[in-house]
Amino acid sequence: MRVTNSSDVILLQTDLDRLVSWAESIGLTFNTSKCYKMTFSRIYNPISSTYYIHNHLISSVPSIVDLGFRLTPTLNFRLHIEEVCCKALKTLGFIQRISHEFHLSRSLKNLFCSLVRPILEYGLVLWDPYTTTDSMMLEIVQRKFLRFAAHILNFPHPPHDLTPIQNFLQLPSLSARKHDSNIRFLSKLSAGLIDSTVLLSTLNFRVPARSTRYTTPFLIPHSSSNYIFHSALPRLIRIANNDPDFLYSFNF
């Protein structure tokens, strides 16, 4: 619910009271010790108020995990990216400890692709980083694996150049996989294979009034801030418009 004034605060508390009453009417109760409040806003002084469940104050938290995503009040995903990289590095450390005797490249690659890479790519369409710092945090995880694999397999490579072992393992860069993932998601959304009418309604397809060589499929919406410019949907549209093969990617 969007809260813009004191009346909205009262309405939200009223809705919360009704939700609690409805839950109790069917024999359910809220565990108030696990109920938290967070205000999502990009302005400097958002409206802040207190909310209660049976006179129990709902405490406010600086961040919270929902469906595997670390959310903050400003919806900045830096903290989420840091936690993803930390978890991926821990898993990679486990792989390194158990695979010192491995000498098959396929085994090492399968371990990385099945245990580490899914951590780095879960929900990536939503939080795909746009800063160099955040992107490098993800790439460092794969580079560390490539360095380990080259050592285990005794694979020669120039200092600080892991391209040979990467090509040998046929392991694309994470940036390339991010691009493919973004294109695949938007293609499925455009083709109606993702059940989200809200997202689909925000796509502005370009319909030229006359024949033209300008074949970009979408109109890019105006972004009033840097945050909106780099948010998920405008980013997906820009990627699709810059990919000449997007229009031919509807075959799944």
For 77-120, how does the pLDDT look when each residue is reduced to its tens digit (9 = 90+)?
999 999 999 999 999 999 999 988 888 889 999 999 999 999 99
pLDDT surpassing 60 at residue 144: yes
Separation of alpha carbons 153 and 131, rounded Å:
33
Q: Interior CA angle at 101 toward 95 and 107, to 5°?
A: 55
Separation of alpha carbons 242 and 160, rounded Å:
31
String of DSSP letters for the chain: ----SHHHHHHHHHHHHHHHHHHHHTT----GGG-EE-----SSS------EETTEEPEE-S-EEETTEEE-TT---HHHHHHHHHHHHHHHHHHHHH-TT---HHHHHHHIIIIIHHHHHTTHHHH---SHHHHHHHHHHHHHHHHHHHHHTT----TT--HHHHHHTT---HHHHHHHHHHHHHHHHHTT-S--HHHHHT--B---SS--S----BPPPP-SSHHHHTSHHHHHHHHHHH-TTGGG----
Is residue 38 a contact partner of residue 46, using CB atoms and an 8 Å limit? no
pLDDT surpassing 70 at residue 248: no
Q: How confident is the model at residue 52 (pLDDT cuts 50, 70, 90)?
A: very high
pLDDT given at position 113: 94
What mean pLDDT do residues 135-154 have? 92
Which residues, listed in sequence order, are joined to residue 70 by a DSSP beta bridge? 65
pLDDT given at position 210: 67
Q: Which residues, at least 6 apart from 133, have a Cβ–Cβ distance to it below 8 Å?
A: none
pLDDT surpassing 90 at residue 222: no
Separation of alpha carbons 199 and 218, rounded Å:
14
Separation of alpha carbons 83 and 106, rounded Å:
28
> What are the sequence ranges of the domains in the chain?
6-61, 78-171, 191-248
pLDDT surpassing 60 at residue 75: yes
Max CA distance (Å), the chain: 69
What mean pLDDT do residues 14-21 have? 93
pLDDT given at position 88: 96
String of DSSP letters for 210-249: S--S----BPPPP-SSHHHHTSHHHHHHHHHHH-TTGGG-
Which residues, listed in sequence order, are joined to residue 59 by a DSSP beta bridge? 36
Is residue 157 a contact partner of residue 217, using CB atoms and an 8 Å limit? no
Average pLDDT, whole number, for the chain? 87
pLDDT given at position 252: 46
User: Mean pLDDT highest for which of 78-92, 129-143, 181-195, 205-219?
Assistant: 78-92
Q: Which of 84, 86, 50 is nearest to 65 (CA)?
A: 84
